[in-house]
Structure 1
């Protein structure tokens, strides 16, 4: 008979959840009304529908980045909601309702903005600052979910994706409203088509790329010892400054002739995006290596089976253990295995920080708490993790034999 699944923690969270969702919803409604009044409600509906299109790609990308130690869904939802509702609302007011600058010039790849200062200085500073606040809040209030560069990339990316979503509604809705007024003869004359190509096809990652630089700064700061206050304060500011600069360069490129815009896109945006992909892949591999290298200490102490560190340090074996859990226990089993993997990974990263002298004075209390989480799920998740290791070795042996 298989072991019983441990009971789920059902501690009441409705009050703090309402304290977060309520203000986000109010800001979202106000922002939607402001955007709708500017674009017209027909334009708002078209902009909303088109702005949804890049979201699956963005979410899948951040899930890939976050695969080793997934952030709690409520943390990601908060970051996205902050960007889509609060950050956008603040930016609309602080920039003097950006629509005044952006409307009427989005039908060409070389827009001519009336206020270059606002586009290249004010907007990048304001927008990157308000998006970064979501990263700062998670950094300060959810330190257990913020343990390195990947956490910074994902949190910043989700905040920026939310901001881009609402801003895309604004751009696309305004373009559609312009088309209704002027009636373009061909698709090339359509503000909606050109805006869609630029914002959704060519640059769906623009805002996440900008704000990712801020997230990297916070991520490196999170890896330092708590007593290293100067770099923990300075690195996020350095990342924020880099985000503002890149955002300013991108905004300035939209006022250049097509060849200038294309040069900035190819020589600046694409290399930065490629560098961020490389950094994310390298950081994921580093986390997996740390799991394989660090967890044997706990296996020798009896907290894990000898085969588990290697399995927990392999994305393939982790996925295999979740598949086994689904077949044997259903969704509850998958949750138990995911909790087990998250606790083990967090424990490995915490131990590595302790080995570097950067874990802080509460290391032993946090270590005990993580070991407790691990132990509660071990009866179910431990055998499945061992089985996944055996299954993965058998698959690799069969592949070599073939």
Structure 2
């Protein structure tokens, strides 16, 4: 491990309040505002058709999606992604993916079933095959976008891919569920729809896109373009198959719907949870494995390595700093710890054989940012020199 040495001219302290990393990975505020405006327009259109149903749908769906988003933010605690990118993922699902899906599904239905003029005549083929093909492509486009430029460096692990996919799915489900609940002709119908969509399967769209995320993650572990495309395509087709089975069962009647739910959706969802938890544990293992090299390079002190290798110990150290020096001090140490994690993943890519010039330059950049983060948190880190993580 050849980390660059600390510059002779000390780097300026890097305040965690400066969103430099966000700008580097491409989450322009203007884009977020534009997508937010598009989401607002979609909600206005839904409300115009059925104001009472839309309000019920908005309230119930927002409660359910808060749980979904909270679960993914919990999963993202070890290496938190830039907030703007997380917001962008959710808004992509709630705007771009929704609009693309609506337009393409109308075109698809018109092509395969020219005689269909109303929603009630929408063909089984469209619902079970066309919609999954289109919707999973629209959601998956965000993950392909994340694979470009410096955004690629945010996909350090399977957990990162799962989090972005989950938030895209949550945004898509949020708007879709509001629409379906608002479409109920009576209050009872709206509540029945809410129960089916929000109680039984609030994670459904996120679960479908999880398969695309798995394909993207494995694609990122290979250099050969053909292999990368094969993995992404396999993940996408898996998402389409799972989505199509779910949609098709809903049209075949309650027996088929509940059968698929209990015998297929629940087991797959359970496996996804296990996979996500194991992936987060692997993140911790990667970081812990890189700490000795950072200590040897003089980037960290041996004492700091004792509490940086565990999420529990890291949180305990930050809590101790907050009690001693207040929130600003805790924010500085939290930023320092997060920069250690970023550097660990950058070095891991090199150690796994992906150390081309761009990756090495990125690793060096993260190293200098760690020096700067240390300069900002230096007084607090000096106080932490005698800290011992509780056991």
CA contact (8 A) 1:101 1:115 kept: no
Per the alignment, do residues 252 and 370 of structure 1 end up closer, same or farther by CA in structure 2, a change over 3 Å counting?
Answer: same
CA deviations over 1:196-237 (Å, ceiling 9, x no partner): 11111110000000011111111222333xx42222232222
The residue number in structure 2 matching 1:25 is: 36
CA contact (8 A) 2:27 2:85 kept: no
What is the SS of the residue equivalent to 2:357? coil
Per the alignment, do residues 317 and 296 of structure 1 end up closer, same or farther by CA in structure 2, a change over 3 Å counting?
Answer: same
CA distance in 2, matches of 1:78, 1:385: 36
CA contact (8 A) 2:158 2:217 kept: yes
Ranges in structure 2 where 5+ consecutive residues have no aligned partner: 1-11, 110-115
What is the SS of the residue equivalent to 1:68? coil
CA distance in 1, matches of 2:292, 2:50: 61
Higher relative contact order (CA 8 A, sep 6+): 2
Per the alignment, do residues 91 and 102 of structure 1 end up closer, same or farther by CA in structure 2, a change over 3 Å counting?
Answer: farther
Per the alignment, do residues 135 and 16 of structure 1 end up closer, same or farther by CA in structure 2, a change over 3 Å counting?
Answer: closer
* Number of positions where the alignment pairs a residue of Structure 1 with one of Structure 2: 365
| TM-score (normalizing by structure 1) | 0.83
CA distance in 1, matches of 2:36, 2:281: 38
Q: 1:1-400 alignment to 2 at 5 Å? A: 6-7=14-15, 8-9=17-18, 17-37=28-48, 39-96=49-106, 114-141=122-149, 142-175=151-184, 178-179=185-186, 190-224=188-222, 227-378=223-374, 379-380=378-379, 382-383=381-382, 390-392=388-390, 396=391
CA contact (8 A) 1:337 1:380 kept: no
Per the alignment, do residues 247 and 132 of structure 1 end up closer, same or farther by CA in structure 2, a change over 3 Å counting?
Answer: same
CA deviations over 1:51-88 (Å, ceiling 9, x no partner): 11112211221122111111010000000011111111
CA deviations over 1:101-122 (Å, ceiling 9, x no partner): 9977xxxxxxxx7421111011
CA distance in 2, matches of 1:385, 1:222: 37
CA deviations over 1:145-182 (Å, ceiling 9, x no partner): 1112111100011011000000011011112xx006xx
Ranges in structure 1 where 5+ consecutive residues have no aligned partner: 105-112, 181-189, 397-402
CA distance in 2, matches of 1:102, 1:246: 26
CA distance in 2, matches of 1:144, 1:321: 27
CA-CA distance at 1:383 after TM superposition? 4.6
The residue number in structure 2 matching 1:399 is: none
CA distance in 2, matches of 1:381, 1:121: 57
